[in-house]
Amino acid sequence: MAAQLTAFQRLQGVLARHAGVRRTWLLVRWLLMLAVTFIGLLGVTFFIGRKIPIDPLLAMLGERASAQAYAAARVALGLDKPLIVQFMIYVRDVLHGNLGMSLLTSNPVIDDIKRVFPATLELATLSTFIGIVIGVPLGVAAAVRHNRWIDHVARFIGLAGSSLPVFWLALMGLLLFYAKLHWVSGPGRIDPLYDGLVDTRTGSLLIDSILAGEWDVLKNAISHIVLPAAILAFYSIAYLSRMTRSFMLEQLSQEYIVTARAMGLSERRVIWRHAFGNIAVPLLTVIALAYSYLLEGSVLTEIVFAWPGIGSYLTGALLNADMNAVLGSTLVIGATFITLNLLTDALYRVFDPRAR
């Protein structure tokens, strides 16, 4: 008996070591995947910057620059070196947080991005939250009451969200709710009267105004953000409700749902505990994709509402041939997208034992 117990303990030790090695290997593989993906993103942004039909030297020096000044700037920026050497210099600079200087603002690009990205993050986060709160229950209700009025409403919202241009909806929203009804404040993030009254702590004007106890600033900030957030949330609601409805319809047709109902379980438990529980994991991916889209696709909304986010910054950089700002913004948006996808994969492993 003692020998059998000793052998069992040894087996447990071997299995524990094997599990530890496996977890370490998964972590190493995840880090390697992150590194390779990020290097690929660096390569894409680098070669786009080299192949785009805009000369950064002319944008920096002006079209009347002499040939000597042009050649000196080319050497100073390392553009005379082989392409692979330029790429290695670019990777080194990015890893050190150096994205170059902005021609438009004369500031380091990384400082400009730190200033404008929180505004986009705040807008996208609020829009995604609204999309989840409304879109997911709407999709569930549409699937449960298939071919009834709530289902038709959800399908109409999904169709409208896929068809209506965001800039048109934003302009119509400004015309109706700001110009006609005066329910919300106009473009911008806050009125000039309240600008600078709240110290920047988190980057979110809503949170910072609460922390500072500046309720007038909070009220004004809400009146500015509510309309652009609602416009973006409409597209998030359309996407999330459509995908949730599709997932739920598939689950509600499965045999285990019929069995659960036959066993006398309440309809609420069947729907939310069993059917919705089985779509929660793939729904995480859908939500992450919707959030990523709002972070990178809110450019038109930011332009219409004069929202001082990374979309407006990127547009201004493009119009002024500020390639350092363009490539830096593209890199940050791409890195954010990669990070969200990797976090989604990690959440898969947390919530779904089969993915482990």
**Which residue ranges form the domains of the chain, and what is each CATH number?**
42-98 (no CATH), 113-355 (1.10.3720.10)
Cα 148-153-157 angle, rounded to 5 deg? 150
Residue 321 has what pLDDT?
74
Q: Which stretches in the chain have pLDDT values below 50?
A: 5
Taking the C-alpha atoms of residue 300 and residue 284, their distance in angstroms, rounded to an integer, is: 26
Residue-wise pLDDT tens digits, 272-288: 888 888 888 888 888 88
Residues 6+ apart with CB under 8 A from 222: 206
The pLDDT value recorded for residue 15 is: 52
Mean pLDDT for the chain overall: 82
Measured CA to CA, the distance from residue 127 to residue 141 in angstroms comes to 21
| Token code pair at residue 44 | 């894409």
